[in-house]
Amino acid sequence: MALNTSNISKLGFGCMRFEGRATDSIDVNRTAQLVDRYLEAGGNYFDTAWAYPGSEAVLGEALVSRYPRDSFYLATKCVAWTHCEGPDDLEKQLQESLAALQTDYIDVYLMHNLGGPRTAAFRAHGAWEFMKSAKERGLVRHIGFSAHCTPEELEEFLSEFPETEVVQLQINYIDWENPTFRERECVEVANRHGVPIIAMEPVKGGMLANPPKKAAEILDEVMLDYSYAASALRFTASVDGVFCTLSGMNTIEMVEENCNTFSDFKPLDERELEAIDRAQKAMRGSEIVACTACDYCAKVCPVGVGISGSINAFNHYINYGDPTQANEQLGFIVMFGAGKLPPVACIRCGACEEACPQNLEILKCFDRIIAEIMPHTPPPPDLMKM
């Protein structure tokens, strides 16, 4: 049976960024409260992945063990570009996902993060044949993939995997016309193939919830009734072909605000679209590094550099121009918060840039952190050894 997208809520619960994931300490009770509030407000779609640390097990406890299995949709993903040597590992991942989620079927099963150098691993390990077999065996109900890719690659994937029932794409206003991401064109490809879209990263890892001053001023002129995050969500959810927009929600306030935005959903009008367009131009002109904190880079870094945290500190520096404060952030987020190493520990192997779905120039950013931020109050030597 085809996926009936009209039964799925417009707001999806993204489960990649549960608080405590970096230290393996996601709180089940706290997550259960978020889940309860989201379900009460009419939400019913949860998106996790085998590769999100701790996420599936927490969802198993906080959601699946507490609610009737047919009262929500569960989506998870298998990965081939890391932790995978062949089809046996894909099967192992699926069995582990089912066990962690405490269920005997997955509603939507996706190949995780196709595009760029990562695609070859899915092909080499027969991932699509494996997906079809999982569906035939009744372990998953609908299959598709998530991707960070060019429109040309997406066209190729949809032709190569014609049984694709759903595709998960990054869609946010800052990258909509970005020549690297070409999100608008990707959406057009999916629509041409008639494949429904789940949108991810609508707030670009939180970046659009706190836009630089110039962009914020533009949004303030026109979108006074909405927070910056709500404006970003509304942009994405207004896109033709998108039936569900994922948001990673960590607090009750965030769940409530997002549920309110979607309870009386209003697509952007022309005036708002024009303001968003001006805001994105103002932001793209800044030096902000568009990291979504997905931490795919962390999975491949051989020395444990705190990459997303370092970029977060760099963006703080760009936004507020204070290197001392940015250096303090580096200490708190990277070293104390996540037990990771600062950019000076990088051996410049380049693995992170290959894994990065946003195609970020991580090493150039590190050069600037080392030259412009770290000379200001360097962290104590014992921290550098962590």
120 is a contact residue toward ligand SF4 (CB under 6 A): no
Identify each DSSP E strand in 125-221 by its residue range.
140-147, 166-170, 197-200
What mask of x and - would describe binding to ligand SF4 in positions 241 to 280, judged by CB under 6 A? Answer: ----------------------------------------
To ligand SF4, the closest distance from the beta carbon of 13 in angstroms equals 20
Q: Which is nearer to ligand SF4, 279 or 346 (CB)?
A: 346
Q: Count CA within 13 A, CB hemisphere, residue 74.
A: 28
What mask of x and - would describe binding to ligand SF4 in positions 14 to 53, judged by CB under 6 A? Answer: ----------------------------------------
295 is a contact residue toward ligand SF4 (CB under 6 A): yes
To ligand SF4, the closest distance from the beta carbon of 321 in angstroms equals 22
172 is a contact residue toward ligand SF4 (CB under 6 A): no
Choose which of 48, 258, 292, 315 interacts with ligand SF4 (CB under 6 A): 292
To ligand SF4, the closest distance from the beta carbon of 292 in angstroms equals 5
Structure tokens at 211: 């836009």
How far apart are the C-alpha atoms of 164 and 143, rounded to whole Å?
Answer: 6
CB 46 within 8 A of CB 97: no
Provide the b/e sequence for 232-255 (b: ≥16 CB within 10 Å).
Answer: bbbbbbbbebbbbbbbbbbeeebb
To ligand SF4, the closest distance from the beta carbon of 146 in angstroms equals 13
Q: Which is nearer to ligand SF4, 241 or 306 (CB)?
A: 306
124 is a contact residue toward ligand SF4 (CB under 6 A): no
Residues 353-356: contacts with CB under 8 Å, at least 24 apart: 353/297, 354/116, 354/117, 354/300, 355/81, 355/82, 355/118, 355/296, 355/297, 355/299, 355/300, 356/296, 356/297
How far apart are the C-alpha atoms of 156 and 296, rounded to whole Å?
Answer: 24
Which listed range, 147-155, 222-230, 257-265, 301-309, lies at the site for ligand SF4 (CB under 6 A)?
301-309
Check residue 378 and report its DSSP letter.
P
Q: Which is nearer to ligand SF4, 143 or 208 (CB)?
A: 208
CB 163 within 8 A of CB 185: no
DSSP 334-361: IIIIT--B-GGG-----HHHHH-TT---
CA Rg value for the chain: 20
Choose which of 15, 63, 259, 301 interacts with ligand SF4 (CB under 6 A): 301
Instruction: Assign 123 to helix, strand or coil.
Output: helix
How far apart are the C-alpha atoms of 84 and 154, rounded to whole Å?
Answer: 23
What mask of x and - would describe binding to ligand SF4 in positions 330 to 369, judged by CB under 6 A? Answer: ----------------xxxxxxx--xx-x-x-x-------
55 is a contact residue toward ligand SF4 (CB under 6 A): no
Which listed range, 107-115, 144-152, 220-228, 306-314, lies at the site for ligand SF4 (CB under 6 A)?
306-314
**Site size with ligand SF4, rule: CB under 6 A:** 27
How far apart are the C-alpha atoms of 204 and 176, rounded to whole Å?
Answer: 11
Which listed range, 57-65, 73-81, 303-311, 318-326, lies at the site for ligand SF4 (CB under 6 A)?
303-311
Residues 173-202 binding ligand SF4 (CB under 6 A) are none
To ligand SF4, the closest distance from the beta carbon of 115 in angstroms equals 12
Choose which of 79, 108, 223, 297 interacts with ligand SF4 (CB under 6 A): 297
Structure tokens at 280: 């994105």
To ligand SF4, the closest distance from the beta carbon of 81 in angstroms equals 12
To ligand SF4, the closest distance from the beta carbon of 342 in angstroms equals 10
CB 369 within 8 A of CB 376: no
296 is a contact residue toward ligand SF4 (CB under 6 A): yes
383 is a contact residue toward ligand SF4 (CB under 6 A): no
Q: Which is nearer to ligand SF4, 26 or 352 (CB)?
A: 352
Q: Count CA within 13 A, CB hemisphere, residue 19.
A: 12
Query: Which residues contact ligand SF4 (rule: CB under 6 A)?
Result: 291-297, 300-303, 305, 307-308, 311, 346-352, 355-356, 358, 360, 362
